Amino acid sequence: MLQVSERTRLLGTETAFDVLKEVEELICKGKSIMNFCIGQPDFDTPDYIKEGAIKAIRAGKTGYTPSPGIPELREAIAKYFSETRGIDVKPEWVVVACGAKPFIGYTILSVTDPGVGHEVIYPNPGFPIYESLIRAYGAVPVPLPMLESRNFGIDVEYLEKLINDRTRLIILNSPHNPTGGALDKDTLEQISDIVKKHENIWVFSDEVYSRMVYDGEFFSIASIDGMQERTIIVDGVSKTYAMTGWRIGFAMNPKLAPYLARWVTNTDSCAPHPNQHAALTALTGPQDDSRRMIERFRVRREIIVEGLNKIEGVKCVNPKGAFYVWPNVTEACRIVGANDAEEFRRRLLYEAGVAVLADIHFGHKNEGEGEHIRFSYATSEENIREGLRRLKAFIEENRA
């Protein structure tokens, strides 16, 4: 009998899209759904960026490009990284790909070997593709708890205990999906002190929400002395410029750039040519639309956090960045008789028409942390208020 490979059979997924399928099926049946499960801005791509792509298409910019990206975009990205991270980045250290996500896999493939026990430390809860690709590419995933008791920061002493001779990569994500937590300068300096003790450890710094920091300022571990050469910075235009479907992301590292580019050659050949020109327009054009969008997210954060903390059985830490909240619903589960956050999520969707994600969609439950769900507040203030109203009514009307 024909069979698929074991790695394919066991490959994880981004479960937000599974829940989105449920949501779409319910909408097709005529049910009203307040959708908080998908992590993409609800704003349209600004017109000046669209015009940049249209202009490129009309100019015949529709063929292959060099695998690492068109030179002018790499130059703009190098300037962007230099200015926003406080480091000196050269264009030849930059690689462009079809979104930021491919760099997760490219990096794992570049710094670990399969079947020899190389370990990758990754945040838990966290973006589910981290763990799935670590496993798929033959490395060993080692979860690093992101704890509510630490405002979803990192226990640096615990991190140090996880490191051994087999550790090859540490994945950091700040601001963080799904909790909205952000790592401060002091924490990153402590992490860098640990990393620099080991000659074979790289850091993958997922900074796609770097422009969405609402408390304090964004800080990259690459800006710490001795860390730029061993840090792979990853960012993109998807979140900052409402360009999720354009699929343009970029990475920076002085040593790995040629190898990342070779992986691009082996997979996608290059990122779409006109879309690279759209990204170039985004980075070099007026930033007013992006700033207005981010300010709306700041307002929405205040609305949803305040609203959640007024609902019986729900506690919500104020996130520092991104556009997610990660409320604790342990008591709410008890009130409505739900065994866990996933049962709570499903009932909330089918009984109240509110679509969220549960903690199991982002990894393993951390011991003693209780039950959590994720709201993406990348939706209108009106939808947020209606979703909160439905959540409150659901809990009040379903006391066990």
Angle, vertex CA 263, rays to CA 257 and CA 266, nearest 5: 145
Question: Do both 375 and 268 map to the same domain?
Answer: no
Question: Do both 181 and 129 map to the same domain?
Answer: yes
Last residue of a domain, one of 258, 284, 310: 284
pLDDT score at 223: 98
pTM of the complete model: 0.96
Question: Do both 103 and 149 map to the same domain?
Answer: yes
* Whole-angstrom distance, CA of residue 59 vs CA of residue 381: 40
Residue 389's CATH number: 3.90.1150.10
Asked whether residue 151 is assigned to any structural domain, the reply reads yes
Residue 80's CATH number: 3.40.640.10
- DSSP letters for 45-67: PPHHHHHHHHHHHHTT--S---T
Instruction: Check if the beta carbon of residue 375 is closer than 8 Å to that of residue 314.
Output: no
First to last CA, the chain: 49
State which residues of the chain have pLDDT below 50: none
pLDDT score at 17: 78
Question: Do both 190 and 327 map to the same domain?
Answer: no
* Whole-angstrom distance, CA of residue 272 vs CA of residue 69: 9
Asked whether residue 14 is assigned to any structural domain, the reply reads yes
Asked whether residue 128 is assigned to any structural domain, the reply reads yes
Question: Do both 164 and 227 map to the same domain?
Answer: yes
Asked whether residue 84 is assigned to any structural domain, the reply reads yes
Question: Do both 326 and 272 map to the same domain?
Answer: no
pLDDT score at 110: 98
In single-letter form, the type of residue at position 204 comes to: F
Asked whether residue 29 is assigned to any structural domain, the reply reads yes
Question: Do both 72 and 143 map to the same domain?
Answer: yes
Torsion sign, CA atoms 28, 32, 38, 39: positive
pLDDT score at 19: 85
Torsion sign, CA atoms 146, 149, 152, 154: negative
Asked whether residue 133 is assigned to any structural domain, the reply reads yes
Instruction: Check if the beta carbon of residue 261 is closer than 8 Å to that of residue 68.
Output: yes
pLDDT score at 167: 98
* H-run or E-run covering 95: strand 94-97
Domain boundaries, position 240 = 47-284
Residue 213: phi and psi, rounded to 5, are -115, 125
Asked whether residue 111 is assigned to any structural domain, the reply reads yes
Task: Give the number of domains in the chain.
Answer: 2
**Tokens coding 135:** 């496993």
Last residue of a domain, one of 250, 269, 284: 284
Question: Do both 54 and 138 map to the same domain?
Answer: yes
* Whole-angstrom distance, CA of residue 64 vs CA of residue 247: 16
pLDDT score at 334: 98
Question: Do both 392 and 294 map to the same domain?
Answer: yes
Question: Do both 63 and 198 map to the same domain?
Answer: yes
Torsion sign, CA atoms 296, 300, 301, 302: positive
Asked whether residue 1 is assigned to any structural domain, the reply reads no
Last residue of a domain, one of 247, 262, 284: 284
Segment 363-387, tens digit of pLDDT = 999 999 999 999 999 999 999 999 9
Question: Do both 233 and 298 map to the same domain?
Answer: no
In single-letter form, the type of residue at position 199 comes to: E
Question: Do both 36 and 53 map to the same domain?
Answer: no
